[in-house]
Amino acid sequence: MDRIHSAAELRATTARWRSEGLRVALVPTMGNLHAGHYSLIRAARERSDRVVASVFVNPTQFGPNEDFARYPRTLDDDARGLQAEGCDLLFAPAVETMYPFGLEVATRVDVKGVTETLEGAFRPGHFAGVATVVLRLLNLVQPDVALFGRKDYQQLLTIRRLVADLCLPIEIADVATMREPDGLAMSSRNQYLSAQERPQAAQVYATLCRMRDAVLGGDAASAIERDARDALESAGFRVDYAAIRRAVDLTDPVPGERSGLVALIAARLGATRLIDNLAIGG
């Protein structure tokens, strides 16, 4: 596996692959890779001839009081894991490579319609940072397909909207969330949980399952959301949201709607913010 830091070298490599008629896949990550990330690499290998993984902790998607400085950087370990999974190229750029004119004057992309609610309401500017860095990576690699996990569901919708709205000839593929045996969604931030908090964290997924079952049972969304919030707060969480939304655009469901929905939770346990979601009714 090659490890590249230069945008010019990345472009030259992927251009050569395309000239040879090879299908190229991109898996964007912020590093500190775990089994969930590697499932994306395996899915990318099934869909392409060459796989590029990027490792870049993107400063523009972190708020002023978020964990950019302490976000774990484990590039050498990540490289070994990617090579073991059959990745062809690791792109690990510096901030100056991704934002050559500086962060303060960097061109930004604002995707309207799916970013204003839920995560967007609690993390202003987050999705503009996500959309900006993903568009830059897509332009640099020019892949045939890019793969993202479903755990960050609103992010996935944002990227789909970005690609469709800007008419980019790129397939966006999603991969199921990888979970621990107790249901906790795999995340780099799970390592921030204390030994006492770790088993408590599984309550997020358990609550999502109860929300799904209540929707299918015909309960009103408002009551389901209230009960979910109460259950999580009783378990020691500080809840940002526990919501039932339409999966296609995150709008509120109408009374009696039971399919094409998604339950979403964001909640803090100690110093760790956990997010997860669960599809309802297909």
Number of Cβ within a 10 Å radius of residue 122: 14
Q: Which is catalytic among the residues 5, 34, 37, 126?
A: 37
- Measure the CA–CA gap between 228 and 158, rounded to whole angstroms: 25
- Cα 233 to its chain centre, rounded Å, is 25
Known catalytic residue at 34:
no
- Measure the CA–CA gap between 101 and 20, rounded to whole angstroms: 33
C-alpha dihedral, 132 to 91 to 170 to 108, nearest 10° = 10
Nearest to 271 by CA among 238, 241, 243, 229: 238
For the four alpha carbons of 159, 160, 161 and 167, in that order, the dihedral sign comes to positive
198: left (phi over 0), alpha (psi -120 to 50) or beta: alpha
**Residues with Cβ < 8 Å from 105, sequence gap 6 or more?**
none
Contact 154, 119 (CB under 8 A): yes
Catalytic residue numbers, as ranges: 37
